């Protein structure tokens, strides 16, 4: 135990002799710890945390099959699927793309997503 205290005192004396090195070491540690924490937070939120739906394991995504692979569904197909639905509890849709937004100054093209009205409605009693 005595050796540990001697080593700690020696380390503190050495750091106090070179304050520039000590400041750089502390900043490097802070930057590394901050970067690691932020990366972990993003990975945890996207891969491990449960989705904000009552039963995320039961979510399904349905596509329209085309000659060159799968693609987005037309509004008419979506409405027909929703009307004939007997397999799914809910059928909702979303689609993304570029949209033109006009302001008083100038028009601008922005990326965005539009959803059916009940897409984010919280389901009760599930």
Q: How far is CA 21 from CA 26, 28, 29, in A?
A: 9, 10, 12
Query: Hey, how many other C-beta atoms are within 10 angstroms of the C-beta on 19?
Result: 9
For all residues of the chain together, what is the average pLDDT? 87
Residue 120 has pLDDT above 90, yes or no: no
Contact at 8 Å (CB) between 77 and 49? no
Contact at 8 Å (CB) between 78 and 84? no
pLDDT tens readout for residues 40-82: 999 998 888 877 777 777 888 888 888 888 888 888 888 999 9
* CB-based burial, 58-70: b 16+ in 10 Å, e otherwise: eeeeeeeeeeeee
Residue boundaries of the structural domains of the chain = 2-48, 56-115
Phi, psi of 38 (to 5 degrees): -70, -40
Contact at 8 Å (CB) between 113 and 95? yes
pTM summary value: 0.49
pLDDT tens readout for residues 77-89: 889 999 999 888 8
pLDDT tens readout for residues 5-25: 999 999 889 889 999 989 999
Contact at 8 Å (CB) between 15 and 24? no
């Amino acid at each position: 135990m005595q050796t540990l205290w001697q080593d700690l005192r020696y380390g503190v004396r050495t750091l106090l002799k070179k304050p520039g090195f000590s400041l750089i070491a502390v900043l490097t540690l802070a930057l590394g710890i901050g970067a690691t924490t932020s990366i972990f937070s993003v990975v945890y939120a996207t891969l491990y945390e449960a989705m904000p739906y009552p039963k995320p394991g039961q979510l399904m995504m349905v596509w329209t099959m085309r000659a060159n692979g799968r693609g987005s569904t037309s509004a008419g197909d979506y409405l027909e699927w929703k009307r004939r639905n007997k397999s799914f509890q809910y059928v909702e849709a979303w689609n993304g793309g570029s949209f033109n937004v006009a302001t008083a100054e100038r028009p601008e093209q922005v990326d965005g997503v539009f959803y059916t009205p009940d897409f984010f409605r919280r389901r009760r009693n599930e």
